[in-house]
């Protein structure tokens, strides 16, 4: 679980606004005022965001390779992976933003930047409000502590009072509802949990942190159908209270059902953003076309291979005939 210092980002925006007000104190053009009002309603503002990872080119260096490199005084080349390339978008408070895209499109990386885990390589990320992050693996839990102990730890990290912790602890445990899966599990070390049990506790903690902005990365994928339904209801309830949710998922129907805005990432680029039905339909159509293209390429390659086989067989036949002629007997 990670939280971002909301006050810091808000302060940046207000400081900029104050400076502008000093420069032009009196009448401001109506368009400017409207823009400012809109600006205030924003929960997230992402401007020309680039996120790169630097990795060593050699994934599994061998001792021999390392020794040769050392002898030649060569350095291991750093490889830059451009996970997100100049993405810009805005999210008003009360939005459920679905983020879709192929494997490796940059969705989780974007979410890491929104949660503050990953600083931008270039560009700006402004997140205004208390953030709660639900990552697929429930990052932040101590595996050796029990579910209950992790809940208390999460509360302490949020600065809750003893009474608040006691009150929320029960609500979280009720919501996670682990007893129906395995009695007494909440008092066992989390390393003994199944991925579904883990997801339940992570989700229950995340939504009870009373976040303004909830970032969800496939955290529901491990939950069973009943839990997913309850989690969806809870997220919609949060949203009715003008909370903002960013939902990264391959579950296109979940995104269609839950979100009221959607962005589609492809190789780190923002392909389309807007109405979820339109964006999801366009994405499905692109996937269909890609599959068709791949099938066509495969069929063409197979046809070419068959042709080459035929040509080779014909050539072999001719060679055999020529040999027969030359020596006048069967070979
Ligand atoms: N820690 C990392 N170090 C190096 N490269 C990374 C790291 N994490 C992700 N990447 C790379 O960044 C790109 C985007 O990955 P990311 O996990 O953000 O994609 P994704 O859309 O969330 O994919 P998926 O749907 O498979 O979870 C990929 O090329 C991935 O290999």
**Distance in angstroms (rounded) separating the CA atoms of residues 90 and 241:** 19
Name which residue sits closest to atom 12 of ligand 1, judged by CA: 83
Query: What's the whole-model pTM score?
Result: 0.74
Contacts of 257 by beta carbon, 8 Å cutoff, 6+ apart: 232
Name which residue sits closest to atom 25 of ligand 1, judged by CA: 103
Instruction: Compute the distance from residue 79 Cα to the ligand 1 centre, in Å.
Output: 14
- The predicted pLDDT at position 27 comes to 59
Would the pLDDT of 107 be above 60?
yes
Q: Which one of 57, 104, 251 would you pick to mutate in the ligand 1 pocket, going by the greatest count of ligand atoms within 8 A of its CB?
A: 104
- The predicted pLDDT at position 239 comes to 74
Asked which of 44-48, 137-141, 158-162, 190-194 is least confident by mean pLDDT, the reply is 137-141
- The predicted pLDDT at position 131 comes to 87
Q: Which one of 49, 81, 133 would you pick to mutate in the ligand 1 pocket, going by the greatest count of ligand atoms within 8 A of its CB?
A: 81
Query: What is the pairing mode between strands 244-248 and 78-92?
Result: unpaired
| pLDDT category of residue 21 using cuts at 50, 70 and 90 | very low
Ligand 1 atom at minimum distance from 218 CA: 27
> What are residue 79's phi and psi, to 5 degrees?
-105, 135
Contacts of 111 by beta carbon, 8 Å cutoff, 6+ apart: 99, 133, 135, 215, 217, 246, 248
Ligand 1 pocket, Cβ-based, cut-off 6 angstroms: 53, 55, 81, 83, 101, 103-109
Architecture of 41-286 per CATH?
A: 3-Layer(aba) Sandwich (3.40)
Work out the percent of the chain whose per-residue pLDDT is above 90.
42
Q: What is the mean pLDDT of residues 39-47?
A: 87
Neighbours of 173 (CB within 10 A): 18
Instruction: Compute the distance from residue 78 Cα to the ligand 1 centre, in Å.
Output: 17
**Distance in angstroms (rounded) separating the CA atoms of residues 98 and 235:** 13
> CA distances (Å), 51 to each of 128, 133, 151, 268, 306, in order?
20, 19, 32, 9, 45
- The predicted pLDDT at position 137 comes to 53
| Contact criterion met (CB below 8 Å) for 4 and 126 | no
Q: What is the mean pLDDT of residues 159-172?
A: 88
Q: Which tops the pLDDT comparison, 163 or 26?
A: 163
Name which residue sits closest to atom 8 of ligand 1, judged by CA: 109
Instruction: Compute the distance from residue 88 Cα to the ligand 1 centre, in Å.
Output: 19
Place of tokens 């929960």: 43
**Distance in angstroms (rounded) separating the CA atoms of residues 158 and 6:** 13
Name which residue sits closest to atom 31 of ligand 1, judged by CA: 104
Instruction: Compute the distance from residue 162 Cα to the ligand 1 centre, in Å.
Output: 39
- The predicted pLDDT at position 13 comes to 34
**Distance in angstroms (rounded) separating the CA atoms of residues 272 and 284:** 13
- The predicted pLDDT at position 246 comes to 94
pLDDT in tens, 261-288: 999 999 999 999 999 999 999 999 999 9
Ligand 1 atom at minimum distance from 109 CA: 18
Instruction: Compute the distance from residue 104 Cα to the ligand 1 centre, in Å.
Output: 5
Name which residue sits closest to atom 3 of ligand 1, judged by CA: 53
pLDDT in tens, 112-160: 999 898 999 999 999 998 888 876 555 678 889 999 999 998 888 778 8
| pLDDT category of residue 111 using cuts at 50, 70 and 90 | very high
- The predicted pLDDT at position 195 comes to 83
How far apart are the two ends of the chain, measured CA to CA in Å? 77
Name which residue sits closest to atom 11 of ligand 1, judged by CA: 83
> What are residue 222's phi and psi, to 5 degrees?
-85, -15
- The predicted pLDDT at position 98 comes to 95
- The predicted pLDDT at position 229 comes to 82
Q: Which of 134, 139, 132, 129 is nearest to 158 (CA)?
A: 132
Instruction: Compute the distance from residue 100 Cα to the ligand 1 centre, in Å.
Output: 13
Give the best-scoring range by mean pLDDT among 23-32, 53-62, 218-227, 249-258.
249-258
Q: Which tops the pLDDT comparison, 215 or 4?
A: 215
- The predicted pLDDT at position 36 comes to 66
Name which residue sits closest to atom 7 of ligand 1, judged by CA: 53
The pair of three-digit structure tokens given for residue 6, joined into one six-digit string: 């909301």
Instruction: Compute the distance from residue 181 Cα to the ligand 1 centre, in Å.
Output: 32
**Distance in angstroms (rounded) separating the CA atoms of residues 114 and 247:** 12
Q: What is the mean pLDDT of the chain?
A: 83
Instruction: Compute the distance from residue 179 Cα to the ligand 1 centre, in Å.
Output: 35
| Contact criterion met (CB below 8 Å) for 71 and 208 | no
Q: What is the mean pLDDT of residues 30-44?
A: 74
């Amino acid at each position: 679980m990670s939280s971002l210092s909301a006050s810091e980002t808000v302060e940046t925006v207000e400081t900029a606004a104050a400076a502008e007000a000093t420069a032009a104190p009196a009448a401001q053009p109506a368009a400017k005022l409207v823009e400012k009002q809109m600006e205030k309603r924003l929960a997230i503002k992402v401007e020309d965001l680039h996120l790169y990872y630097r990795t060593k080119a050699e994934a599994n260096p061998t001792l021999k390779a390392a020794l040769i490199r050392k002898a030649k005084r060569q350095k291991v080349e750093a490889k830059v992976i451009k996970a997100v390339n100049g993405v810009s978008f805005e999210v008003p408070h009360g939005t459920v933003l679905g983020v879709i895209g192929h494997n490796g499109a940059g969705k989780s990386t974007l979410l890491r930047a929104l949660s503050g885990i990953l600083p931008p390589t270039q560009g700006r990320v402004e997140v205004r409000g208390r953030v709660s992050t639900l990552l697929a693996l429930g990052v932040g839990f101590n595996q050796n502590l029990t579910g209950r102990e992790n809940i208390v730890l999460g509360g302490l990290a949020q600065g809750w009072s003893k009474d608040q912790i006691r009150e929320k602890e029960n609500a979280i445990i009720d919501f996670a509802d682990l007893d129906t899966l395995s009695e007494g599990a909440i008092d066992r070390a989390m390393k003994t949990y199944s991925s579904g049990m883990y997801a339940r506790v992570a989700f229950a903690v995340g939504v009870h942190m009373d976040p303004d902005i909830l970032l969800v990365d496939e955290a529901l994928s491990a939950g069973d159908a009943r839990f997913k339904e309850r989690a969806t209801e809870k997220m919609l309830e949060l949203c009715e209270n003008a909370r903002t949710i960013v939902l990264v998922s391959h579950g296109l129907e979940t995104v269609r059902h839950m979100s009221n805005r959607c962005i589609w990432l492809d190789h780190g680029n923002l392909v389309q953003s807007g109405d979820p039905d339109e964006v999801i339909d366009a994405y499905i159509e692109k996937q269909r076309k890609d599959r068709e293209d791949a099938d066509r390429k495969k069929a063409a390659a197979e046809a070419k291979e068959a042709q080459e086989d035929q040509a080779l067989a014909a050539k072999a036949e001719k060679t055999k005939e020529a040999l027969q002629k030359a020596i006048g007997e069967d070979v």
